[in-house]
Amino acid sequence: MENTLNNQQNYHPKTLAEANQIILLLQEGLQSQQERIQTIEQQYENLQQQVINLLRGKYGKSSEKLPEGLIQLSLLNGDKSLEQANEPIEKETVTYSRKKRNGHRNIPGNLPRVRIEYKLEDLTCPCGCGNQLHKIDEVITEQLEIVPAKIYVKQHVRFKYAGCLHQNQVITAPMPNQPIDKGFAGPGLLADVLVKKYDDHLPLYRQSEILARHGIDISKQTLCDWVMRCADLLHPVVEAMKPDLLSSAKIHTDDTVIPVLEEGRGSTKEGRLWGYLGCGPPCTVYEYSPNRQQKWPEEFLKNYKGYLQADAYIGYDKIYAGGNIVEVACMAHARRKFFDIVQANNKISKSKEGVAVTALSYIGQLYKIERRIKDLLPLAKKAIRKREATPILKEYKKWLLEKSGKVLPKSPLGQAVNYTLKNWIALTRYLGNGILDIDNNAAERLMRPITVGRNNWGFAGNDRGGKAAATVYSLIETCKLNKINPYEYLVDVLTRLPNTLNRNIKLLLPYNWQPQNSR
């Protein structure tokens, strides 16, 4: 019968049974076509969402703020559960007036001042009385100035001594060990190269060009060698920070790509930099790995006991399964999935946009609480979260469960809903402990310097270069956490480290560091 239908478009059934069979075949074909259309539409929507996300990541704003009108419209047209979720939240009132600032007058008071005085040449009184003018006050107008980098040659003069006439021996005064043995770069120049590359994101070839303007010929390869050797010297300092980091009650972690040249191939592979932020002594440790296999964070955290706040990377699952490390997920990560759907509102149906905005509204109420309690002690945070955030989360989960049965599982909206439900326990774990955060933004901020740097210097030359980047980033970012000038710290530590015993390295950690001239 099916072959007959395929071969004869105008075939007419001869019996009722034959007609019923034809109808059944047509219904099956129609259902198959509808399923195929639905699959294609879903694939199209997924691809469209991916393109929008990529374009937003490359050209769009990094903030994830929705227009107020869009949220209000969702509240008017959305579920009653959202209104109930909003009820416990009190309206914040601004009770202070912000002082106006003149940005162009923001000149630090600790900078040295150079006076340039302007005096009248003729002090005769202009009224014609013949008397002399006398100074009664002065008007000072401040102007910020800068002197280009001062480059000089430091001469290490070692005096030589001879003994008495009976002893044919010359004794030369020793000099301290240097960061690079027999090298001509001083600690200040080395620190400048490190800070310019890893904090100012200035590639080494451009640093070489800047030095050339001062008449100093130092190749990019020489600068690269200095970076590698300094990183090797500084590595024990970073290793000494790890026990302090791993003693934290919680650790934030995230990772990002760092392109690395493959030896002999001319192409790059995807290395990774993993960032770990503790809550004890303010410190950040970065680790380099040649890939994103789970063994790398597993090895770093093998002796850790506490909370680990991260994204839902599957590589962490084995770490959590051990029982010593408790998973804390990132609400911002879950929020972003709904936000991306709203950003694509011209390309998807308005009903899906409305569902996504409602989800964002729930999450927005949670963040409103967090903004209000951010400076409170952990016990106070826990109490307020239990009282105010728990009812909102209860309504939010009920709403998610209702929507999960109405959305296509593989659609962007279905993935956002199911991701949130799948990670619900970890996403809401922050309720039970005031030291925990609602999201992992602290760790995501650790990745920003690397992202900006990567966009400027492009890639690491090899795995050793990736490890060097991890070492220097660890110290620079830890200095910034402790409000220490990274350049001043590195100059001092590069000077002292070659002459420091291993047992005293702890004194050189950024949060323990005291400048040599203040000791």
Paired sense of beta strands 268-278 and 284-289, if any: antiparallel
Last residue of a domain, one of 438, 454, 486: 438
Residue 51 falls within a domain, yes or no? no
Bridge partners (DSSP) listed for residue 260: 269, 460
Q: Which residues contact 309 (CB under 8 A, 6 or more apart)?
A: 250, 251, 252, 253, 328, 329, 330, 436, 437, 440, 442, 443
pLDDT value at 297 more than 80: yes
In the predicted structure, residue 79 carries a pLDDT above the cut 70: no
Q: What is the mean pLDDT of the chain?
A: 84
Same domain, residue pair 254 and 386: no
Asked if the structure places residue 446 within a domain, the reply is yes
Alpha helices in 458-511 (DSSP H): 463-481, 486-496
- Count up the domains in the chain and report the number: 2
Pairing of strands 306-309, 325-328: parallel
For 81-122, the pLDDT digits (tens) are 444 434 333 333 334 445 555 555 678 888 889 998 988 888
How many Cβ atoms from other residues are within 10 Å of residue 479's Cβ?
25
> Rounded to whole angstroms, how far apart are CA atoms 22 and 16?
10
Q: For position 28, what pLDDT does the model report? A: 78
**Same domain flag for 335 and 322:** no
The answer to whether residue 263 is domain-embedded is yes
295 and 371 housed in the same domain: no
**Which of 386, 420, 438 corresponds to the end of one domain?**
438
Residue 290 lies in a domain: yes
Angle, helices 204-213 vs 187-198, to 10°: value is: 130
Q: Is the pTM of this model over 0.75?
A: yes
For residues 206 and 220, what is the distance between their CA atoms, to the nearest angstrom? 8
367, 318: one domain: no
Inside any domain, residue 129: no
Q: Are residues 305 and 377 in the same domain?
A: no
Q: Are residues 210 and 189 in the same domain?
A: yes
The answer to whether 440 and 330 are in contact (CB under 8 A) is yes
In a domain, 47, yes or no: no
Residues 6+ apart with CB under 8 A from 496: 508, 516
pLDDT digits (tens, 9 = 90+) for 19-66: 777 788 788 778 778 777 766 766 666 665 566 556 555 545 555 665
List pLDDT tens digits, range 335-353.
Answer: 999 998 888 765 545 566 6
* Among candidate residues 408, 438, 468, the one where a domain is terminated: 438
If one compares 108 and 306, the residue with the highest pLDDT of the two is: 306
Residue 135 in domain: no
Task: Say if residue 347 is in the same domain as residue 420.
Answer: yes
Give the highest mean pLDDT range of 93-97, 187-191, 455-459.
Answer: 187-191
**229 and 367 assigned to the same domain:** no
452 and 313 inside one domain: yes
Are residues 197 and 260 both part of a single domain? yes
Average pLDDT score over residue span 291-296: 93
Residue 451 is assigned to a structural domain of this protein:
yes
| CB burial of residue 201 (10 Å; 0-12, 13-18, 19+) | middle
- Structural domain range at position 228: 183-330+442-518
Mean pLDDT computed over 495-505: 93
Pair (188, 315) in one structural domain: yes
pLDDT, tens digit (0-9, with 9 covering 90-100), for 239-273: 999 999 999 999 999 999 999 988 777 788 899 99
Cα–Cα distance, 226 to 232 (Å, whole number): 10
Same domain, 293 and 319: yes
% of the chain surpassing 70 pLDDT: 82
391 Cβ contact partners less than 8 Å away, ≥ 6 residues apart: 85, 88
